């Protein structure tokens, strides 16, 4: 017999969270599994409104960036990944410095403010490769923010170049890296992480690298890939692990949950999280993370309609109009958007669209529809690129 949670207890808990009270992981699990959907969304939206009280309360942001996948060669062989090729594979590739710089120049031309360099863990690429390419990008395009790599890359570079994590971070930062993406988190909890990414660093190591980075002045985001077979309790445990570090460092700028894409990889048959589970997770994250300011809804993996709904479930940001993305698209994400559409999507959700930078500062607030940009060149063309490549993991960040 399934015991039903007490509706009064749920309502009191939602009120407590909506009023800004901290909820425990046990309480979070109860809300995630048993709170009525609309009440959960309403409580999360109340928290969002309080956090952004004032001029920003009705604003929802987006960013224009380019995700450059510099290599698909990877030793780590995550089972959910359709993108990588093992070292020595005939389909493996690594872009030249010139090609990476060319893509950066294109991105600047199209109005991008941020570059996300994301790629496989190639045994050929040590710290010098990253130092060289970061310095070259900053030399040619000082206006670009390098929000790139992540804790997994720090661990990998440390192994290839025989360096401590702190030294890798310090050298990358000195070469031009501004902040780390939240990639590689997937799920930090040991059991499901070992199932989907047995060769990747542990969740504890991922968090420890991020904590080191934050303490060295390099901020980051935190992500969560849901839907690979984890339990609801494990979903909440992932959130709890991130919140504990954030209590000590304050270095996570945002939390970005997204759904696993099931095509072209070795997990295949596992169930993707449903749209309702995703919306519940967005709302729960807003209630649970009383210490992380921004919450990003994903339209890339869930579709624009669900992306739009996230704005009513606590999200304040819809991420990027990506000028290039090969990793998630390789695993089946097919949703495509341009800036005009994204602005319209935000506006028709009842919010004021604003282009932001990496630090979430508003660059352009689209107050008047008559002034909306009509430049269709600023679009995400991942749907038309590299669909023969593979999978997920290194991307939304």
Contacts to ligand SF4 by CB under 6 A: 74, 76-78, 81, 83-84, 120-121, 152, 391, 393-394
Provide the minimum distance between the beta carbon of 73 and ligand SF4 in the complex, in angstroms, as a whole number: 9
- 129 CB neighbour count, 10 Å cutoff: 18
The torsion defined by the Cα of 352, 353, 357 and 359, in degrees rounded to 10, comes to: 40
261 CB contacts (<8 Å, ≥6 apart)?
272, 301, 328, 331, 332, 333, 391, 392
Cβ closer to ligand SF4: 88 or 142?
A: 88
Report the distance separating Cα 186 and Cα 168, nearest Å: 22
**Could you please report the per-residue DSSP string of 123-139?**
TT--HHHHHHHHHHHHH
Provide the minimum distance between the beta carbon of 197 and ligand SF4 in the complex, in angstroms, as a whole number: 6
Provide the minimum distance between the beta carbon of 356 and ligand SF4 in the complex, in angstroms, as a whole number: 26
Please give the structure tokens belonging to residue 17: 């969270």
Cβ closer to ligand SF4: 245 or 328?
A: 328
Cβ closer to ligand SF4: 311 or 394?
A: 394
Cβ closer to ligand SF4: 27 or 71?
A: 71
Cβ closer to ligand SF4: 84 or 382?
A: 84
Report the distance separating Cα 352 and Cα 365, nearest Å: 7
Strand partners, 259: 226
Q: Say how far residue 370 (Cα) sits from the centre of its chain.
A: 32
Cβ closer to ligand SF4: 25 or 92?
A: 92
Provide the minimum distance between the beta carbon of 186 and ligand SF4 in the complex, in angstroms, as a whole number: 8
Cβ closer to ligand SF4: 314 or 391?
A: 391
Please give the structure tokens belonging to residue 238: 């992932």
Provide the minimum distance between the beta carbon of 75 and ligand SF4 in the complex, in angstroms, as a whole number: 7
Cβ closer to ligand SF4: 40 or 226?
A: 226
Provide the minimum distance between the beta carbon of 297 and ligand SF4 in the complex, in angstroms, as a whole number: 22
Please give the structure tokens belonging to residue 289: 């993370």
Look up residue 76 and give its DSSP letter. S
Contact present, 121 and 75 (Cβ < 8 Å): yes
Q: Is 220 helix (H, G, I), strand (E, B) or coil?
A: strand
Report the distance separating Cα 253 and Cα 65, nearest Å: 17
Provide the minimum distance between the beta carbon of 121 and ligand SF4 in the complex, in angstroms, as a whole number: 5
Provide the minimum distance between the beta carbon of 123 and ligand SF4 in the complex, in angstroms, as a whole number: 12
Please give the structure tokens belonging to residue 25: 């992981």
């Amino acid at each position: 017999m399934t015991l039903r949670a007490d509706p009064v207890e749920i309502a009191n808990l939602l009120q407590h969270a909506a009023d800004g009270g901290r909820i425990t992981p046990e309480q979070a699990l109860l809300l995630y599994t048993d709170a009525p959907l609309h009440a959960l969304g309403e409580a999360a939206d109340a928290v969002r409104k309080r956090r952004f009280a004032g001029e920003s309360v009705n604003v929802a942001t987006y960013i224009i960036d380019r995700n450059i996948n510099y290599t698909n060669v990877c030793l780590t062989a995550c089972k959910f990944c359709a993108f990588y090729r093992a070292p020595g594979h005939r389909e493996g590739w690594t872009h030249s410095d010139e090609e990476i710089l060319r893509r950066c120049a294109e991105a600047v031309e199209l109005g991008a403010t941020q570059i996300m360099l994301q790629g496989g863990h190639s045994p050929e690429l040590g710290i010098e490769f990253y130092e060289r390419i970061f310095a070259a990008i900053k030399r040619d395009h000082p206006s670009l923010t390098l929000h790139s790599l992540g804790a997994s890359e720090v661990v990998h570079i440390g192994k290839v170049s025989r360096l401590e994590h702190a030294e890798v971070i310090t050298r990358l930062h000195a070469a031009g890296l501004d902040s780390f993406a939240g990639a590689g988190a997937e799920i930090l909890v040991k059991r499901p992480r070992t199932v989907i990414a047995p060769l990747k660093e542990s969740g504890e190591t991922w968090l420890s690298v991020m904590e080191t980075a934050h303490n060295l002045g390099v901020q980051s985001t935190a992500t969560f890939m849901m839907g690979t077979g984890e339990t609801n309790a494990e979903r909440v445990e992932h959130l709890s692990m991130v919140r504990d570090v954030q209590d000590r460092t304050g270095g996570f700028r945002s939390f970005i949950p997204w759904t696993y894409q099931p095509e072209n990889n070795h997990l295949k048959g596992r169930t993707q999280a449903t749209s309702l589970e995703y919306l519940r997770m967005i709302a729960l994250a807003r209630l649970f993370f009383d210490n992380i300011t921004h919450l990003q809804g994903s339209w890339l993996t869930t579709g624009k309609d669900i992306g739009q709904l996230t704005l009513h479930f606590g999200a304040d940001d819809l991420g990027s109009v990506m000028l290039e993305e090969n990793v998630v698209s390789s695993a089946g994400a097919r949703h495509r958007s341009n800036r005009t559409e994204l602005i319209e999507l935000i506006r028709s959700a009842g919010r004021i669209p604003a282009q932001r930078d990496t630090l979430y500062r508003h660059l352009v607030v689209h107050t008047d529809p008559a002034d909306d940009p009509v430049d269709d060149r600023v679009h995400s063309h991942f749907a038309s690129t590299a669909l023969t490549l593979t999978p997920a993991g290194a991307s939304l960040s």
